[in-house]
């Protein structure tokens, strides 16, 4: 497995990471703990060293799973987690908790994450969503104190806008930004990617396979259980799934030529954008994990990339990525 450094930091991780959310949260009921533990071990065996979790996934279940499963590999893997939601009523439904990034809350959240992850130091700590009620300088200052106390190594932001990133970075250098980015969500290209490139911050695209859509395994007849959060996303309505098939046809034609899968082309496209970009596709299946890892070996030439850009510029993606209430929490 190739390695990459996140921006100008010394944080080196596998070129593809593993998003662990779906093992416990959002995509239906939590999966079998033993099966997910085996999958996490299989990921380490295949060279993945970068694992993504958050306290809100469950809440708490996912950090416990990841902490226990990866305990034998301490020092060999990098675990990223996130704070920023108010989980005082931890029976919250997905998407229900409000944001809370008050400094005292951050410190409490970190103590909980350290215990669940069974570590003395969190490798990479993201603010999960920007809290409009707390100046980002206060957030960065709280994380800076945690870094000085040896409880956190690196500071990250998730779904933050360019100005927020600059203001945070001025207080405590930001190692990585995690935001949704893929062939069907290109928003970060306008302001965010140029900003983090200038500041030397790494980029961790989440949902790099469009929450499963870019694998080519969905069509307008695909339905989602009410426990699957995609059932409430505008981009996963029957009309949007039908309208967005043009993107799958494009990926499919390139995949055929490259003897790869649409998912591998979507991930290879991200890897080809910048050397400091590390996508974190999530999966609960070993065959998908192996398919995703295979993307690292797919070589897209400058000509391939021009062709993809030219073709995608003519495709209008239908449907917002989140309902309005959740969309308001991004890009602040």
Per-residue pLDDT 10s for the chain (332 aa) are: 999 999 999 999 999 999 999 999 999 899 999 999 999 999 999 999 999 999 999 999 999 999 999 999 999 999 999 999 999 764 444 446 799 999 999 999 999 999 999 999 999 999 999 999 999 999 999 999 999 999 999 999 999 999 999 999 999 999 999 999 999 999 999 999 999 999 999 999 999 999 999 999 999 999 999 999 999 999 999 999 999 999 999 999 999 999 999 999 999 999 999 999 999 999 999 999 999 999 999 999 999 999 999 999 999 999 999 998 888 889 88
Strand partners, 202: 176
- CA separation for the pair 117, 64 (Å, rounded): 6
- CA separation for the pair 53, 56 (Å, rounded): 9
Structure tokens at 39: 């999958």
pLDDT at position 325, please?
A: 86
pLDDT at position 25, please?
A: 93
pLDDT at position 94, please?
A: 47
- CA separation for the pair 19, 51 (Å, rounded): 6
198 class by beta-carbon count within 10 Å (0-12 exposed, 13-18 middle, 19+ buried): exposed
The pTM for the full model equals 0.96
- Rounded to 5°, the CA angle 15-320-282 comes to 30
- Return the number of other C-beta atoms located less than 10 Å from residue 164's C-beta: 22
- CA separation for the pair 105, 84 (Å, rounded): 8
Structure tokens at 160: 């933050």
The position carrying tokens 């649409």 is 262
pLDDT at position 90, please?
A: 47
pLDDT at position 300, please?
A: 97
- CA separation for the pair 237, 221 (Å, rounded): 10
pLDDT at position 331, please?
A: 86
- CA separation for the pair 137, 298 (Å, rounded): 41
Q: How many helices (H) and strands (E) does the chain have?
A: 12, 9
What contacts 7, CB < 8 A, 6 or more positions away? 175, 176, 196, 199, 200, 201, 202, 203, 276
pLDDT at position 96, please?
A: 61
pLDDT at position 114, please?
A: 98
Q: What are the residue ranges spanned by the domains of the chain?
A: 3-211+273-298
DSSP-derived pairing of the beta strands 174-180 and 12-14 = unpaired
Contact present, 171 and 159 (Cβ < 8 Å): no
Contact present, 28 and 227 (Cβ < 8 Å): yes
Contact present, 1 and 293 (Cβ < 8 Å): yes
What CATH number has the domain spanning 3-211+273-298?
Answer: 3.20.20.100
What Cα–Cα distance (Å) separates residue 246 from each residue in 49, 205, 252, 266, 313? Answer: 34, 22, 10, 14, 12
Report the catalytic residues: 57
pLDDT at position 287, please?
A: 98
pLDDT at position 329, please?
A: 87
Structure tokens at 166: 């600059």
């Amino acid at each position: 497995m190739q390695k990459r450094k996140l921006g100008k930091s010394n944080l080196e991780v596998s070129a593809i990471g593993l998003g662990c959310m779906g093992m416990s949260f959002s995509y239906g009921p939590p999966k079998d703990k033993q099966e997910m533990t085996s999958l996490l071990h299989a990921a380490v065996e295949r060279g993945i060293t970068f694992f993504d979790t958050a306290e809100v996934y469950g809440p708490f279940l996912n950090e416990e799973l990841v902490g226990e499963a990866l305990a034998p590999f301490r020092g060999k893997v990098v675990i990223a987690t996130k704070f920023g939601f108010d989980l005082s009523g931890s029976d919250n439904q997905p998407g229900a908790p409000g944001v809370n990034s008050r400094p005292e809350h951050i410190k409490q959240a970190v103590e909980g994450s350290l215990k669940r992850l069974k570590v003395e130091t969190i490798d990479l700590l993201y603010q999960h969503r920007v809290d409009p009620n707390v100046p980002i300088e206060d957030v960065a200052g709280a994380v800076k104190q945690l870094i000085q106390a040896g409880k956190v190594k690196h500071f990250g932001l998730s779904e933050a806008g360019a100005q927020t990133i600059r203001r945070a970075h001025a207080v405590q250098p930001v190692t990585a930004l995690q935001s949704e980015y893929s062939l069907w969500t290109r928003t970060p290209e306008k302001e965010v990617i140029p900003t983090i490139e200038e500041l030397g911050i790494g980029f961790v695209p989440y949902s790099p396979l469009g929450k499963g859509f870019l694998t080519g395994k969905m069509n307008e007849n695909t339905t989602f259980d009410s426990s699957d959060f995609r059932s409430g996303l505008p981009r996963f309505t029957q009309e949007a799934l039908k309208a967005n098939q043009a993107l799958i046809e494009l990926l499919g034609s390139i995949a055929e030529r490259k003897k790869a899968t649409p998912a591998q082309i979507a991930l290879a496209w991200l890897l080809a954008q910048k050397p400091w970009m590390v996508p974190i596709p999530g999966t609960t299946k070993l065959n998908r994990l192996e398919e995703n890892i295979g993307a690292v070996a797919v070589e897209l030439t400058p000509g391939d990339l021009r062709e993809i850009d030219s073709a995608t510029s003519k495709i209008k993606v239908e449907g917002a990525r989140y309902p309005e209430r959740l969309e308001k929490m991004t890009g602040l």
